[in-house]
Amino acid sequence: MEWTTACPDWQERILGRRSLIVSPPIFADEAAAALDAFKALRVVDVAGSPTFGDVGEQWIFDFVAAIFGAGGPDGRRLIREFFLCISKKNGKSTLAAGIMLTALIRNWRMSNELLILAPTIEAAQNSFKPAADMIRADPELNAAEGGFLHIQDHIRTITHLATKATLKVVAADSATVVGKKAAFVLIDELWEFGKKPNADAMLREATGGLVSRPEGFVISITTQADAPPAGVFKDKLDYARDVRDGKVADRKFLPVIYEFPPKMVASQAYLEPANFYVTNPNIGRSVSAEWLEDELRRELQKGPETRNTFLAKHLNVEIGMGMRSNRWPGADYWQRQIDATITFETLLDRCEAVVIGIDGGGLDDLFGFSVIGREKVSRRWLSWSHAWAHESVLERRKAIASTLRGFEADGELTIVDDALEDLSEIVARVEAVQDAGLLAAVAVDPAGLGALADALAEIGVTADSGILVGAPQGYGLMNAIKTTERKLADGTFRHAPSTLMDWCVGNLKIEPTATAIRATKQSAGDAKIDPVMALFDAVVVMSKNPEPASTKSVYEDRGLVLL
């Protein structure tokens, strides 16, 4: 039996208003029976309470058919996970209610559990109310009028009187999902779970029942996040894109993502009203094009925070590093200068001189480490970065804990539980550069250096040797910031791919004064910038065109501050 969940031509399809689901339902009879039940449900918040069959768009029917048409008559499901990312007001909560009611109606397992998992109590209520309204609008369903679905509003539960199966809508926390044995799970607003540090464990607990339920499914329905994607949302979004694009072959996972093609994002074509339909397939029905145009006009006059929320929610635009009004100008060029061939090892092979920048704070900060090498022959600058964090950061900075865990999973951040472990790993990296005969300097933020200076001294990296250099901070970094953005713009600075550095660059805020600019940790708050500050420390020295250090100091006469 052949089918695919990939949609490599999605850009052409989405611009042509064609289906983003390539294969027809695997089991056509099962899909048809489920669609009959789904289309009969009434959408109460639309004038006249029409049925889904009366007002639903084809993309909705395609999605519903794909879900229920993936389960065979023998009870075995061939596609078990579904992901829908779509703009707000395209009937997301109503669709979720309709899908799960259809699953409850079609379910054959006695005393089965069905679960809608929402991030907050308010979101849970938004999912439960449409389901309850659909039942009350249909006497054949409503147990109060002789039907077979019994509503319990106070506990947000709907019970099928024949099978005793229950559909529950719960607000997520560790306590609400422990012990759940749900065969059918719908996760609403997955982007909000990306903010929760324990979301991965919580979702695993909620979906654990599928192990013994071969007919079961998991559906994630979400808009884009109002900040750069993080945590479980980022992981799922990245995976969904890879499956859609054919980079990962997973026929048991079906992604449907209504987003603008990359070229349209780069050119900001999403701001053109004629393109609103791309991420709003319900435009003209539940979505008003006139309202979107009016709201966008107002939002463009406001600050970036509210504007970004509008773009993420109503146009499904992923919020990234280049969307703050006070962003670092280099952020506009950062993504263009990614070189996937750069690693720590290849940088050493390709370069003739290396400067290391280090920026660290307290136990609730990151320890940033950036390497800049001057490439042989081309003399381009190549950069590779890493960071360390003490585990206490996860408690003290809970708002970014899931983001940091994501960087850890990508191998770009090391979380340690021993205050000395990060120092030993940093020193090992410095020593590797030194052993390669490439080390020109280690440039550091002098504040709070303490134990690191002692550790570096053990390998001969000291102020007395001229290798350990204190980089000016605050306004003193202005030249390094300007130099980096110019070299990014002209392509003479290339860097390794790093979601950690992407995040830090996006967090960087520039504060102009009458005579200078500065970037400070304080202005970034929880959104850390330590690794990019380490990069600027290294730029301070690399701008002096250094050579690998010898026993004699080569910096004494170059205007740098020796520690």
Longest dimension (CA), the chain: 93
327 band by pLDDT with thresholds 50, 70 and 90: confident
Percent of the chain predicted with pLDDT > 70:
89
pLDDT for 57 equals 94
pLDDT in tens, 136-176: 999 999 999 999 999 999 999 999 999 999 999 998 765 56
Count Cβ neighbours within 10 Å for each residue of 99-127 and write b for 16 or more, e otherwise.
bbbbbbbbbeeeebbbbbbbbeeebbebb
- Let me know if 298 is exposed, middle or buried by CB neighbors in 10 A (0-12, 13-18, 19+): exposed
If one compares 5 and 519, the residue with the highest pLDDT of the two is: 5
Helix and strand element counts for the chain (H, E): 23, 18
519 band by pLDDT with thresholds 50, 70 and 90: low
Cβ pair 318, 359 in contact under 8 A? no
Cβ pair 388, 425 in contact under 8 A? yes
Pairwise CA distance, residues 241 & 320, whole Å:
17
Cβ pair 459, 424 in contact under 8 A? no
514 band by pLDDT with thresholds 50, 70 and 90: very low
pTM score > 0.95 for this model? Answer: no
Domains of the chain: 10-263 (3.40.50.300), 331-562 (3.30.420.240)
pLDDT for 551 equals 37
Residue whose token pair is 């998992």: 117
Can you list the alpha helix ranges (DSSP code H) found in 137-189?
Answer: 174-177
Neighbouring-strand partners of residue 471? none
Is the confidence at residue 473, as pLDDT, over 70?
Answer: yes
Q: Are strands 517-518 and 511-512 parallel, antiparallel or unpaired?
A: antiparallel
Pairwise CA distance, residues 398 & 364, whole Å:
11
pLDDT for 173 equals 64
pLDDT for 562 equals 43
Is the confidence at residue 219, as pLDDT, over 60?
Answer: yes
pLDDT in tens, 528-548: 889 999 999 999 999 999 999
Is the confidence at residue 32, as pLDDT, over 80?
Answer: yes
Those residues with Cβ within 8 angstroms of residue 530's Cβ, 6 or more apart along the chain or in another chain: 359, 360, 361, 365, 366, 367, 368, 387, 504, 521
